[in-house]
Structure 1
Amino acid sequence: MGRIGKKLDINFVISTGENFYDDGLTSISDNAFKESFTKIYTAKSLQKQWNSVLGNHDYRGNVEAQLNPVLRKIDSRWLCLRSFP
């Protein structure tokens, strides 16, 4: 993703769900956020805003956790504002 982001000179990323396999996040302090997002998407080209929506696996967890603005304080790239059940 980092190479493609650099090649396309992206301004933002759209994450179309399935953010945290297999069962979303359990809470805003779930280590999966850092392990599956912050520590994975480290390429310079991916240090842009991520506009995220929830996928079916995300709904297995705590939906409110992914929508919580506290996650933006942990990683400012994360933006997930609404749930579309």
Structure 2
Amino acid sequence: MGNVGNKMDVDFIVSTGDNFYDSGLVDEHDPTFYDSFTNVYTARSLQKQWYSVLGNHDYRGNALAQLSPTLRQRDDKWFCMRSFILHAGM
């Protein structure tokens, strides 16, 4: 993924759900956040803003934990909402 990000010179990354297998996060202090996000996406090209939405596996855990501002404080790349609205000009 880091190689693709580098080749494409990405400005941001969109994660379309199922951020944490198998059962989301327990809470905003769950070490899975580091083990499956912070410590995985370490390539320089991926140090951009991540826009993450929740998938079915995320709802198996504490979905509100992923929406917590605490995670953004722990890793400023992380930005998660239930949904995003994109306004694109023509």
Normalising to structure 2: TM-score of the pair? 0.90
- The one-letter code of the counterpart of 2:27 is S
Bigger Cα Rg? 2
Aligned counterparts of 1:18 and 1:45: Cα–Cα separation in 2: 22
Q: Write the mapping of 1:4-83 to structure 2, written as runs, cut at 5 A.
A: 4-82=4-82
Flag as ranges the 4+ runs of structure 1 deviating above 6 A: none
Residue aligning to 1:3: 3
SS at match of 2:14: strand
Normalising to structure 1: TM-score of the pair? 0.95
Aligned counterparts of 1:11 and 1:72: Cα–Cα separation in 2: 18
Q: Structure 1: which 5+ runs fail to align?
A: none
- How many corresponding residue pairs? 84
Q: Structure 2: which 5+ runs fail to align?
A: 84-90
Counting aligned pairs with the same residue, the percent is 61
What is the Cα deviation at residue 82 of structure 1?
A: 2.3
* C-alpha RMSD of matched pairs (Å): 1.3
- The one-letter code of the counterpart of 2:70 is V
SS at match of 1:18: coil
What is the Cα deviation at residue 81 of structure 1?
A: 2.0
What is the Cα deviation at residue 41 of structure 1?
A: 0.2
